[in-house]
Amino acid sequence: MFRHTQGNWLWGRGRDFPWGGGLGTTICLLASVWVSPPICASDTPYEQEPISYSDPVLDDPVSKLDAQLAAGTTELQYEPAHGYLRSVLRALGISEASQTLVFSKTSFQRDRISPETPRAIYFNDDVYIGWVQGGDVLEVSAVDSQKGAIFYSLSQTREAIPRFQRHTHECLQCHDGSLSQGVPGHIMRSVYTDPRGQPVLTAGTFLTNPQSPLRERFGGWYVSGTHGSQLTMGNLIVRDKEHRQHPERIDLAPNGNRRDLTPFFDPQPYVVPHSDLIALQVLAHQVFVHNLITKANHQTRFAVRDQVAINKALGRPETEPLESTRSRIRSVGEPLLRALLFADEPRLEAPLEGTCGFAAGFSTQGPSDSRGRSLRQFDLQRRLFRYPCSFLIDTPAFDALPEPQLDYLAQRMWQVLTGADTSGRFTNLSAEDRTAIREILQETKPGFARRWPAEANGTP
């Protein structure tokens, strides 16, 4: 987060990745994030109006907690073993069961990270927390409803009034670029890792996205849970030269279906002894969709800004719609819609099961309809969720999307959920799925459902 090394592009096995000489990364909360060439504030669109990313006015859970600390209305408790970690998790409503563990050296505290001392990541819908054994700081990222990912650190030294420190351009060296949809965001990577925790570059890397099969996920992460005959890259350490050059020859089976991680490292120093498979799957989905929501927000606001300027220059009403504006809204709205409806999710070949109760706790959060159905209920037999519409539709970031984008998403979602969309691009949804999702949203997301056509809301 605080250091940067000029990066260059290398190539590996059909996967491209930027790599710097010193791996001086940002708050790399999610493995594996690589160093890219320095960026300047003037070069980044999100520093312009109406985003103004570096502006100190923020709207995210961490900035609100920091204001409470400054006012003395909230206190954080320090513990010798974990510093402020547990207290911060409680203050932000983050479950300890969300813990996932990364052993690849992909954080600015890289010298303290190894397969023996993995970095822990905790998360909820809006905040990510990174903790390293003996680390100087907690690594923190929160989702601002207008700006995107906001990066912070919190000193792990006991202080009378601990305060979060915001970081901007030093973090955006890595957390901005094509890998994060061109907005301040997060990146989840899967890497082959050597016994020291160093990524094995010759073996290539994978950027985790909705289409990623399990076999290409979680390299550099510990994974606790069962997944049957499906294999993952979790718990894998590459030890010999042959596998560095030919990773396709690695047998992933011996490291899979592990309910106990003690053969790999001592979990005693950690809040829980797990790196839950279901938490990892949710994390991967959430990271990708968060970035798409931010991109849709920024690009729609830029489109509306430009429309006003063009209309003013031509002497037309500022709100007169332009085809270019509609096209720009559509270009960012459609990928978000596909991600929200899990259109590219690979079908599971065997059931998934975690180890620490994350799934049970997660399922009880959020709204349910009158039949007890919720977007947070898991399937884990054929796919991740029982009702494949993202729970992130119930977050402040989604609600803060500009009106034209919300209208577009509502119209398109209605077309998909009623079968009016015959494009064949949402074949993952059965007729029963579409009906259930439509009914759940009508009850639990009425403000969004009111954007649907009049007949959807009982209006003749």
Per residue of the chain (460 residues), give pLDDT as tens: 333 332 322 223 333 333 222 223 333 455 433 333 334 444 678 898 999 999 999 999 999 999 999 999 999 999 999 999 999 999 999 999 999 999 998 777 889 999 999 999 999 999 999 999 999 999 999 999 999 999 999 999 999 999 999 997 666 556 556 677 788 889 899 999 999 999 998 899 999 999 999 999 999 999 999 999 999 999 999 998 888 888 999 999 999 999 999 999 999 999 999 999 999 999 999 999 999 999 999 999 999 999 999 999 999 999 998 999 999 999 999 999 999 999 999 999 999 999 999 999 999 999 999 999 999 999 999 999 999 999 999 999 999 999 999 999 999 999 999 999 999 999 999 999 999 999 999 999 999 999 998 766 654 4
Domain boundaries, the chain: 7-255, 303-457
- Reference 117, options 135, 141, 138; nearest CA is 135
Q: Is 361 exposed, middle or buried (0-12, 13-18, 19+ CB in 10 A)?
A: middle
Residue 146 near residue 80, CB atoms below 8 Å: no
Q: Which phi and psi angles does 317 have, rounded to 5°?
A: -55, 135
Distance of CA 321 to the CA centre of its chain: 33
Place of tokens 């990745």: 17
Is the pTM higher than 0.85? The answer reads yes
